[in-house]
């Protein structure tokens, strides 16, 4: 009658409903039958390289997952004597088989997990829910990814899934304010339960001693040693670091050098500001942190208010609501999980594809400094500022007229914060193929975006060192307007921009107009 907690995208112990409910059930059983051996609580993570591949999870995120698993394992064992078993499975079908075997081997009566909403994951869980009762195992699925779970908020006029963010957000605020306890209470902390949770002798009798070592690398997902070290410094793993970063961001004094949450309204648009945004996305993506923890902390900094008070704080909360919005879209319109655009008619857009053009975009060699800077930041750090994500995505889909799905895949493979719903939602917004998308005729001008949001070229110079010596603003944002091809080649930069802005813009509008009509 043991409890198995299956960790997936929730690599933390705090605010973890699946874990808290498993402990609660073990405790309740013990209290109702004190004479019986107390149920053991065992934790599990299934590593599936083939799933990583099929979902375009790249080496940078895999490395971060492994590092987070190591810290999770340490906390679970050191504080609670809960072993974290890390099993490798070769396919989704094998995961189901393996779960049955594990439940048998460890006399599991109850399996606990937090829900994942993507289509493959939902189908896997549905299959498991159907099959486990044959083994007398109950599967308990909890919600942790959203503050308001998908499907709860429906458009007032049509009772259908919201496809526009603003009314969704208004409804979200209404509902959460009315039922704060329901939506903003964190899962029961582990400190509420006796520690250690398990008797080591009982664990040994089931041949579970100390947790297995977390594999260092997975074949095909290795990182170069230097890059790995750099990423470890930039993104230290684990919920302790995640919560510390959240605290720091929320207590930011609002100064220009370290803006923090109260200055977020303005600072969030400037990619050169190190702390203009929270940089918590990698932790949210692996579940070392929850949206709820972020909102609770932000409200503390806002005197308990949710949608009034500091405009910086309210804007930050609104960004977090985008996470709920895109998960809601994913559940309401599962086609977005099946390689289809939200607006089906955009499948008729006559995209181009040229591999060398695409590679130039991927590796920051387009001749547009702000685009190149963004793509190189991504390569070096596994992360890119949101403003620049929008600029580079617009450049690929509009200026280069390449299908957004190539960009989505490349991002998923390169990002440390790769998250299907936000990545897909972000790409489809920019490409004008999604819910509430950018109108197709409104095309970002990379030169003016660059002048506006990186006025001194600090961000560009940092990531495109060839241009670091340029003095005038015109040269930094549009070097081809000032320097000759020869001078640029001497600096090591691209002789000519990959496309002419005006020509590319007109080409994009024409291609989109054919499909999306009125312009
Ligand atoms: P902050 O500005 O501090 O915001 C706090 C949190 O709110 C973020 O960590 C994130 O979880 C959430 N958030 C903010 N903006 C958005 C948004 N537009 N959509 C959804 N959630 C948001 N975000 C990802 O987490 N993973 C992705 O794979 C991803 N891909 C993207 C692709 C494109 C083309 C675009 C335009 C955006 C993408 N985003 C993605 C959204 C956004 O760029 C990042 O969440 C943000 O840059 C993360 O930095 P931060 O943690 O400092 O954010």
ipTM, 2 dp? 0.99
pLDDT tens per residue, range 265-275: 999 999 999 88
Pocket test for ligand 1, best of 389, 405, 426 (most atoms within 8 A of CB): 426
Closest C-alpha to ligand 1, atom 17: 322
| Ligand 1 pocket check for 393: Cβ under 6 Å | yes
Is residue 259 over pLDDT 80? no
Is residue 461 over pLDDT 60? yes
What is the chain's alpha carbon radius of gyration, rounded to the nearest angstrom? 24
The secondary structure of 394-457, three-state, reads HHHHHHCCECHHHHHHHHHHHCCCCCHHHHHHHHHHHCCCCCCCCCCCCCCCHHHHHHHHCCCC
DSSP labels for 110-121?
A: EEEEE---SHHH
> Residue 255, SS3?
coil
pLDDT of 126 reads 96
Structure tokens at 487: 């001078």
| Ligand 1 pocket check for 283: Cβ under 6 Å | no
Question: Do residues 147 and 183 make contact, with C-beta atoms less than 8 angstroms apart?
Answer: yes
* 519 confidence band (pLDDT: 50, 70, 90): very low
CA of 422 to the centre of ligand 1 (A): 7
- State the binding site: 264, 277-281, 316, 319-326, 417-419
pLDDT of 34 reads 85
Cα three-residue angle 300-304-309, rounded to 5 degrees: 100
CA of 281 to the centre of ligand 1 (A): 6
**Cα(344)–Cα(335) distance, rounded to whole angstroms?**
9
| Ligand 1 pocket check for 80: Cβ under 6 Å | no
pLDDT tens per residue, range 202-228: 999 888 867 777 777 788 899 999 999
DSSP annotation of 493? S
Task: Answer whether the bond into residue 224 is a cis peptide, omega within 30°.
Answer: no
Question: C-alpha distances in angstroms, 162 versus 112, 157, 169, 343?
Answer: 30, 10, 10, 14
Residue 368 phi/psi, 5° resolution?
Answer: -105, 105
| Ligand 1 pocket check for 430: Cβ under 6 Å | yes
- State the binding site for FAD: 264, 277-281, 316, 319-326, 417-419
Mean pLDDT check: name the lowest of 120-129, 182-191, 247-256, 358-367. Answer: 247-256
Closest C-alpha to ligand 1, atom 49: 279
Burial 280-291 (b: 16+ CB within 10 A, else e): bbbbbbbbbbbb
pLDDT tens per residue, range 28-43: 999 999 888 889 999 9
pLDDT tens per residue, range 89-107: 888 788 999 999 999 999 9
**Cα(464)–Cα(456) distance, rounded to whole angstroms?**
14
Closest C-alpha to ligand 1, atom 21: 323
DSSP labels for 338-397?
A: TT--SSGGGGG---B--HHHHHHHHTT-SS-HHHHHHHHHHHHHS---HHHHHHHHHIII
The residue whose two tokens read 């942790």 is: 144
| Ligand 1 pocket check for 280: Cβ under 6 Å | yes
pLDDT tens per residue, range 104-156: 999 999 999 999 999 999 999 999 999 998 889 999 999 999 999 999 999 98
> Residue 105, SS3?
helix
Structure tokens at 385: 């500022």
CA of 300 to the centre of ligand 1 (A): 22
Mean pLDDT check: name the lowest of 251-260, 312-321, 447-456. Answer: 251-260
CA of 314 to the centre of ligand 1 (A): 16
Active-site residues, by number, are 319, 322, 351, 386, 404, 427
Residues whose CB is less than 8 angstroms from the CB of residue 211 and which lie 6 or more positions away in sequence, other chains included: 73, 76, 77, 83, 84, 85, 86
Cα torsion angle, 386, 153, 165, 302, sign: negative
CA of 375 to the centre of ligand 1 (A): 16
pLDDT of 193 reads 92
Average pLDDT taken over every residue of the chain? 94
pLDDT of 518 reads 60
pLDDT of 256 reads 53
Domains along the sequence of the chain with CATH? 1-143 (3.40.50.620), 145-184+230-332 (1.25.40.80), 344-516 (1.10.579.10)
**Cα(20)–Cα(25) distance, rounded to whole angstroms?**
9
Is residue 491 over pLDDT 90? yes
| Ligand 1 pocket check for 386: Cβ under 6 Å | yes
Report if pTM > 0.90: yes
Is residue 79 over pLDDT 80? yes
pLDDT of 253 reads 55
| Ligand 1 pocket check for 272: Cβ under 6 Å | no
DSSP labels for 45-104?
A: EEE-HHHHHHTT--HHHHHHHHHHHHHHHHHHHHHH---EEEEE-SSHHHHHHHHHHHHH
Percent of the chain with pLDDT over 70: 98
């Amino acid at each position: 009658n043991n409890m198995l907690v299956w960790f997936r995208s929730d690599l933390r112990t705090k605010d973890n409903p699946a874990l808290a409910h498993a402990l609660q059930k073990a405790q309740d059983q013990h209290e109702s039958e004190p004479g019986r051996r107390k149920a053991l609580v065992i934790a599990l993570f299934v590593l599936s390289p083939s799933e990583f591949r099929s979902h375009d999870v790249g080496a940078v995120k895999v490395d971060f997952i492994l590092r987070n698993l190591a810290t999770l394992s340490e906390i679970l064992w050191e504080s609670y004597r809960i072993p974290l078993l890390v099993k490798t499975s070769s396919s989704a079908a094998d995961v189901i088989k393996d779960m049955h075997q594990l439940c048998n081997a460890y006399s599991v009566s109850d399996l606990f997990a937090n829900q994942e909403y993507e289509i493959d994951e939902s189908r896997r869980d549905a299959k498991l829910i159907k099959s486990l009762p044959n083994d007398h195992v109950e599967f308990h699925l909890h919600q942790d990814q959203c503050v308001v779970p998908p499907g709860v908020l429906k458009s007032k006029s049509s009772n259908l899934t919201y496809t526009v963010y603003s009314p969704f957000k208004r409804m979200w605020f209404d509902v959460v304010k009315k039922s704060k306890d329901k939506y903003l209470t964190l899962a029961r902390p582990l400190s509420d339960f006796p520690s250690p949770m398990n008797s080591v002798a009982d664990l040994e009798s089931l041949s579970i001693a100390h947790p297995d070592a977390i594999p260092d690398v997975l074949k095909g997902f290795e990182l170069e040693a230097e890059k790995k070290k750099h990423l470890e410094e930039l993104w230290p793993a684990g919920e302790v670091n995640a919560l510390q970063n959240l605290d720091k961001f929320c207590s930011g004094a609002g100064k220009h050098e370290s803006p923090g949450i109260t200055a977020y309204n303005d600072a969030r648009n400037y990619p050169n500001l190190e702390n203009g945004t929270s940089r918590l996305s990698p932790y949210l993506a692996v579940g070392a942190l929850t949206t709820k923890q972020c909102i609770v902390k932000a409200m503390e900094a806002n005197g308990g208010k949710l949608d009034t008070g500091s405009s910086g704080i309210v804007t930050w909360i609104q960004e977090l609501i985008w996470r709920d919005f895109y998960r809601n879209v994913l559940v309401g319109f599962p086609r977005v999980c099946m390689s289809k655009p939200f607006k089906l008619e955009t499948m008729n857009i006559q995209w181009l594809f040229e591999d060398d053009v695409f590679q130039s975009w991927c590796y920051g060699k387009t001749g547009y400094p702000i685009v190149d800077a963004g793509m190189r930041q991504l390569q070096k750090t596994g992360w890119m500022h949101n403003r620049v994500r929008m600029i580079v995505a617009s450049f690929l889909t509009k200026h280069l007229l390449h299908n957004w799905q190539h960009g989505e895949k490349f991002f998923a493979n390169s990002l440390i914060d790769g998250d299907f719903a936000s990545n897909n939602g972000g790409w489809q917004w920019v490409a004008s193929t999604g819910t509430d998308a950018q109108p197709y005729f409104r095309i970002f001008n990379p030169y003016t975006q660059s002048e506006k949001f990186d006025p001194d070229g600090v961000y560009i110079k940092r990531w495109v060192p060839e241009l670091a010596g340029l003095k005038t603003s015109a040269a930094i944002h549009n070097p081809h307007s000032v320097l000759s091809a020869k001078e640029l080649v001497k600096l090591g930069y691209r002789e000519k921009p990959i496309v002419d802005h005006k020509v590319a813009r007109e080409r994009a509008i024409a291609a989109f107009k054919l499909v999306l009509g009125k312009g």
